[in-house]
Amino acid sequence: GAVVSQHPSWVICKSGTSVKIECRSLDFQATTMFWYRQFPKQSLMLMATSNEGSKATYEQGVEKDKFLINHASLTLSTLTVTSAHPEDSSFYICSARSSGQPQHFGDGTRLSIL
Amino acid sequence: QKEVEQNSGPLSVPEGAIASLNCTYSDRGSQSFFWYRQYSGKSPELIMFIYSNGDKEDGRFTAQLNKASQYVSLLIRDSQPSDSATYLCAVGDGGTSYGKLTFGQGTILTVHP
């Protein structure tokens, strides 16, 4: 149980393009989803917390106009990196949880901006 | 600012030994504590979670929590080479922040044959 699917697993694209990453909870309804970013040899840094049907809460220093989060249903959240640049290259990981339960992580998306 | 500190690594143990991973946290109001394992290039995988003081055992893994000392640990018995990974300690917010976690920097564990 508690399977979280993230797609795509890796993306390579040109600078200036927008990239959408999907996060789905496959066997449970996720009341909350989280988006993290992880740079090499560093720990996870929370970007934003997303609750179904409401606006995401962004962590300090994360540009909400650049990292658009949509949590349209209890099983799907999307992160769109708009006008991506090389410094946005990173490992993006989503997690999902239902009330009272631990977070379970997707497999991550490795984003490379050329 | 909430902080989670893990013992500096890397930690190297021989196969079959006990690996001990430690973590301290700054927010005394924290209510939930998690250990995740992350293999290189992969996302974190939940190993254990603990909410109450004392020990919690699951197979070869034991989590220990001492809220008075703001300390949580993970013991891995009979360590195997497949246990080699980065172990992340995470502490949950006890308030209304929808289960937000603060992660430690991770401890790299190597189990050598």
For residue range A29-62, list pLDDT tens digits in order: 998 999 999 998 888 999 999 988 888 999 999 9
Name beta bridge partners: B57. Answer: B62
pLDDT confidence band for A100 (50 / 70 / 90): confident
A-B Cβ pairs (cutoff 8 Å, strict): 44
Give the mean pLDDT of B63-90.
96
A105/B43 CB distance under 8 A: yes
DSSP A24-44: EESSS--SEEEEEEE-TTS--
* Residues in B touching A34 (Cβ below 8 Å): 100-101
- Residue among A6, A43, A97 whose CB faces B105 most closely: A43
Which pLDDT score, from 0 to 100, does residue B94 have?
63
Contacts of B45 in chain A (CB under 8 A): 105
Which B residues, 23 through 52, put their C-beta within 8 Å of a C-beta on chain A?
32, 34, 36, 42-46, 49
* Contact check, Cβ <8 Å, B88/A93: no
Average pLDDT over residues B79-104: 86
Residue A82 CB neighbour total at 10 angstroms: 15
* B108 CB within 8 Å of a chain A CB: no
Q: Is B71 on the interface with A (CB under 8 A)?
A: no
Within a 10 A sphere around the Cβ of A56, how many other Cβ atoms?
Answer: 21
CA A66 to CA A2: how far, in whole Å? 29
Question: Residue B73 above 60 pLDDT?
Answer: yes
- State residue B7's pLDDT score: 83
Q: A68: burial class by Cβ within 10 Å (0-12, 13-18, 19+)?
A: middle
Confidence band for B95, pLDDT divided at 50, 70 and 90: low
Residue A51 vs residue A11, higher pLDDT: A11
Q: What is the mean pLDDT of chain B?
A: 92
CA–CA separation, A94 and A108 (whole Å)? 7
Q: How far apart are CA A5 and CA B101, in angstroms?
A: 20
How far does the CA of residue A49 sit from the closest CA of chain B (Å)? 8
Length of chain B equals 113
Residue A49 CB partners (closer than 8 Å, separation 6+)? A32, A33, A34, A56, A57, B97, B98, B100
pLDDT at B96 over 80: no
B105: chain A residues, CB-CB within 8 Å: 42-43
Distance, in angstroms, between A15 CA and closest chain B CA?
Answer: 23
- Residue in chain A nearest B34 by alpha carbon: A102
